[in-house]
Each structure stands twice: as C-alpha cells, then as structure tokens.
Chain A
Amino acid sequence: MTPHLLAATLPDGLTFAIAGVIALVGSLGVVLSRNPVHSALMLIMSLFGVAVLFVEQDAQFLAAVQVIVYAGAIVVLFLFVIMLLGVDRSEAIATEPMPAQRLMAVGLGILALVEIALLSRERWPLGAHSVAGKARGTGHSNVYVLGRSLFTTYLLPFEVTSALLVIAVIGAIVLARRPRTSAGPTEGEAAAAEAGGGPLVDAGELVGSGAPSAERRVEAEEALARAGDRIGEPVGEQEGLTVVRRPEQ
C-alpha cells in the first residue's frame, strides 16, 4: 500500500480536515482553558473529532465505542468530580510547583513523536491498518470482522480483560465502602455497654438500684460522656418539663 498523505477523494479530504481541526482545537482547549469544566467540554469536542476520524478510517465500531465510553461515561465522571468537589474555579497556573517537569514534557513529547514515526514507518500518518487482518474486501462490515477476531483469535485476552475489570470494580467497592453506622452498634454505644457490662444489666443497675448518691451520679455521667453523642442532652425547657432530645430510631 502506498503512503497517502491526503485522503483518496475530496469528501474524504474535507472530512479529515474538519475533524482534524476539531480534534486539535479541542486538545489545545483542554490544556489552555483555565476552568476545569471548560477543559472537560473541550475534551469531549476533541473526542468527537477523533471519533469522526475513526469513521473516516472505516473503524465505525471504534468510533461508536469512543463516544459511548469516553464522551458518554468517563468525561461525565470527570465532570461529576469537578462539580461535586467544587474545584470548578480557575486555577493559578502561573506558579509552577515543579519547574523541571516543563522541560521534561518537551523532551518526552519529542521522544514520543520520534517513536511513532519510527514504529509506523511508511504509513506514518495513519499507522498500521489493522492487526486482525483485513477490514475491507472481506465482504463483511468492520463490526463483523472485529467481533469475529475478538471472539476467536483474541478470546482469551478479551475474557481476561473483562475478569480484570470485574476484579477492579469489586476492589473499588471494598475499598470505598464505609462500615454501616446506623444499623450496627456505634462506638458510643459499644463504650456504654462496656462500662456497664452489657446493655440490659447496665440499664437495670443504673435505674433500679439504691438511693441517689454522688458515686452513682459520677458513674452515670461518665457512661454518658463515653457514649459521646448528644442524645438525651436537654435542648430546652417548657412548662416545667425538661425537653430532651430523643434518641433517633
């Protein structure tokens, strides 16, 4: 296959030019805009540009997945985080915490470009057409060919990847999950129970026994202090009754 710098026909060329400009402007916008939400929007624009370029390369499935997964899910998550954490203010980029990384970025960028140029040899604008065999000329659509090779040649990597993703999801849930605070005994309750040697005995001892004494009073106060929450604290007085905050059920 001879290297093509420009696409085959005029409509192809026009599409490539427009989509390329969109993708480039979007990427520049991601880096240059000061507001993180604007950056995220620019990222979506860039992703769309790249998706159109994929369609141009006959990789329709890749284009659809790009939009569904990246634009439709991942950037939405970015936006969620940006909005909920309230970091949607413009950042002061003038002060650079690590001056060395600018130089490194330039160096690494050049390195990556050289690498791409070397790896893709004579087809440098586009890279290799496919790794799974021809997409065109088989009489089947790109989706068909892709699905076929995913579920035959590359079945094991495909399944292993999905297992990996499931493991990652479960791991994330395990790490992020907080112990239940409402249903199980809270720290305060545990401490109170400990102080009296079990909840029932505790209640009986404190209420049912003996005359009021200073010792008992101290003991009860201590138990309450250990309980550590504000349940039962008087919140106001009304017609001779002390209004006490009730423990929530």
Chain B
Amino acid sequence: MQDPLFIHGVGLGVVIIAIVKVLVVFAVLLVAVMLMIWLERKVISDMQNRIGPNRAGPFGLLQSLADGIKLFFKEDLMPDRADRIVFKLAPYLTLVPAFLVFTVVPLGGVVTIAHHRVELQVADPPIGILFLLAFSSISVYGAMLAGWSSGSKYPLLGSVRASAQMISYEAAMGLSVVAVVLQTHTLSTRGIVLAQAPHFWDWGVFRTGIVPFLIFWVAATAELNRPPFDLVEGEQELVGGFNTEYSSIRFALFYLAEFMNMITMSAVMVTLFFGGPDGPGFPFLRWLWPILWFAGKTFVFLYVYVWIRAALPRLRYDHLMDLGWKRLIPISLGWLLVIAGVIISPAWGFGILGGCVVAAVVLYQALKVARRRREIEAGAAGLGRAARVAAEVQLRQLAGPHEGGAS
C-alpha cells in the first residue's frame, strides 16, 4: 500500500500538492482551535447559566482571536532562575506533536486533483498508528520541561505529575490501539479506515467490542490532561501547574497545544473506532460527504469533552493512578487476549473470556484476603499504640504531684 500521489515519481506538481496539503491542514487546525475555544466557553457558560463571550464579533466568535492578539502584545516574562533555552523551547515541544499526529488522520476519501490521485490526509505512513503513539509519548516533554525550566517549585511539581500521568495512561492507550490493529490487520490509518468501511457495524467500536474504545477514551482524556484528569493544573495545590511561570504568547502556545491535542485525539478516536470519514454519501459533490461525516463525528467528541468538563469533578491523584494501573491496563490486556481468541474461533474467544473472568475473581479475592489480614495486623498495632497511650497517662499521673503543680 503506497500513497497514490507518489506512485508515478516525484515531480513539481506532486511537491506542490504535498505542500498545499500541509498548509491547508495546518490552517484548518488553527481555525478549528479558535472555534473550539469559543465553543468550549459558550457551552460551559450555557451549562452554568451564563452567557459567555458575546462582545467580539457575532456571538463572540472572534473572542479567541482577540485574546490571542492581547496575549501576543503582553510582556514576555522570564523567571530569573529559569533555564533560558529550555524555557523557550518547551511550548513548541507541546505544540509540534499535536500537529504532527493530526497529519496521519484521514480526513476524507481520495480525490483527483490535476490528474494526481490525492488522499485527503497529509501523510499515510505504513506505521500510521505507531506514529500516533510515538508522538503522544513525545508530548510528555513539553509539560515536563516547561515545569523544570521555570526554576520554580510548583511548576516542577505540576510537571512531575503531568509526566507520570501521561506515561501511565500511555500503556492502556497503546493496548487498546492494538485491539483495533488486531481486527483491521493494518497499522496504516488509511487502511484502518478502509477496513471499517462498508457498514457501520464494521466500525472498530463494534468489532472490538466497545471495551477498547472506552479504555482509549479514558486514556486519551488523561493524556490530554482534560477534566476529570486535569491534576496537572490543580489550581488549589499547584497555583496553575507546569505553565505557572509562563506569560504572553508562550502561555498562549500551551493553550493552543492543549486544544489542538483535543481535536487531534477526537479525530484519532473517530479514525480508530468510528470509521473515520465513513458514512452514507450522495451522488452530487461526492468528495464532500466523507469530510462532513468526519467533521461531524469529531465534533461529537469535542462536545462531549466540554460536557465532561462541566459535569465531573477532578479525581484525586492516587485514584487516578489506581484507575490507570490497576484497572485500565489489566482490563485492556485481558480484552486483547479475548479478541485474539475470537479471531482464532469464537469458542477460543469465549474460553479466554471465561478464563479472564475467573482469574480476575480469584485475584480480587486474594487481594481482599490480603487486605483483611493487613487490617487485622493494623488492629493489633493499634492495640500496641493504646498500650503506649496508657503508659503515657500513667506517667502523667506519676508526674502529677511533682511537675504538674505549675499549672
């Protein structure tokens, strides 16, 4: 499977088309971020019985632009103890992976422009989905280095949290991606979309049995540091998180990256589990319908992200880690086994499912017994403490006549 654009060699026309694709996708993503910030503020306001931005442009649509211009002209502060190079580099390290991941997402079908067959996606590497995993693991560096280079305590704590969280959830995310790859037999994003094409019940979400999708969704939310997993920006504990010391345009870049990541992740979920640009078309404007389907599905996820932010409170840090390591990773591993079994034969699949359930129950019981034993031991230790308190009380009584007289 090769990009049809490059089959007949690389000429000037091909290079121009490639460059135009990159520019168009970049521009679309930037405009989408602008609209997304507006949408988030509007929807959140609506859910909180407020009006939200309504001054700049019709319905406040230009509010993000106004904010961007304001941030651009603000003073750019750098802390005295900051590491100057890394401090300047960090915002770009968050922004670039967000954009790069979007380049492998198929936005539409294949169209013919000036006798070249062009896939409506910037690139279709044979390792497409691994590219996604690679760059989502790279995006850790932005937050991590931003916190460290600020030379300040709270940003450092925020960045340590951020990187621990992102690394933890990467494993669960990767495992749920593997489930899709098992079913579609390809790593290429275009191939994954094509494998889900004919009917909607061929979509990844149904073929992998919904569990990998849910896990991917939760893990992606954690990767994005979106509520309810936004511990990276715990205002109460960390002032503002890893970007506390940033101001002006660099601060804006972090927000740009966050929203870009959100759009990218929604797009990736649509690609992996909801058939990407797949959907019923109509005889006129054939090239347009897949793009609209893709945009519509992505919009649903973006809206849900805003909804979740309005609805759910933030998790506690140990709960977050428990969810990632003790629940999501084992479940996705087990489900992976089940899918592998189903591919061999349904009997194998159900057998493995039963085995997994039994193993899970046994493990749970074992943990419960261990916890009980620990509690009993702790109880005995508590009695030990009681003895010491009693000794203390007696000591006070003994001391009473001599030392206690002062009061």
Contacts and interface: CB of A to CB of B under 8 A. Distances in A.
Interface of A: 11, 35, 37-38, 41, 44, 60-61, 63-65, 67-68, 71-73, 76, 79-80, 83-84, 88, 141-143, 180, 182-186, 188-190, 192-193, 196, 199-200, 202-203, 206-207, 212, 216-217, 220-221, 223-224, 227, 231-232, 237, 240, 242, 244, 247, 249
Contacts of A41: 86, 89, 145
A243 to B, nearest CB: 12
Given A79-B145, A189-B388, A240-B407, 9 more contacts: A64-B130, A65-B130, A76-B167, A79-B148, A185-B377, A189-B381, A203-B390, A220-B394, A232-B392
B134 A223 contact: no
B393 A83 contact: no
A190 B381 CA distance: 8
User: Which residue among B89, B160, B187 has the maximum number of chain A CB atoms within 10 Å of its CB?
Assistant: B187
Contact of A61 (B1, B127, B156, B395): B127
B163 interface: yes
Interface of A is mostly: helix
9 contacts: A41-B145, A67-B137, A79-B144, A185-B380, A189-B385, A193-B384, A203-B387, A220-B395, A231-B392
B391 A184 contact: no
Given A71-B138, A206-B394, A185 B381 contact: yes
Interface of B is mostly: helix
Contacts of B407: 237, 240, 242
Given A189-B381, A203-B386, A72 B137 contact: yes
Contacts, number: 156
A76 B144 contact: yes
A38 B384 contact: no
Contacts of A76: 137, 140-141, 144, 163, 167
B314 interface: no
Nearest to B140: A76
A36 to B, nearest CB: 11
B134 A64 contact: yes
B138 A67 contact: yes
B382 interface: yes
A76 B390 CA distance: 51
Contact of B83 (A35, A199, A206): A35
B12 interface: no
B391 A220 contact: yes
B53 interface: no
B316 interface: no
A123 to B, nearest CB: 24
Given A76-B167, A83-B160, A185-B377, A227 B388 contact: yes
B387 A199 contact: yes
A223 B394 CA distance: 12
Contacts of A244: 392, 396
Interface in B356-407: 374-375, 377-378, 380-399, 401, 404, 407
B10 A183 contact: no
Contacts of B378: 182-184
Contact of B134 (A68, A212, A231): A68
Contacts of A192: 384, 387-388, 391
Contacts of A190: 384
A199 B140 contact: no
B341 interface: no
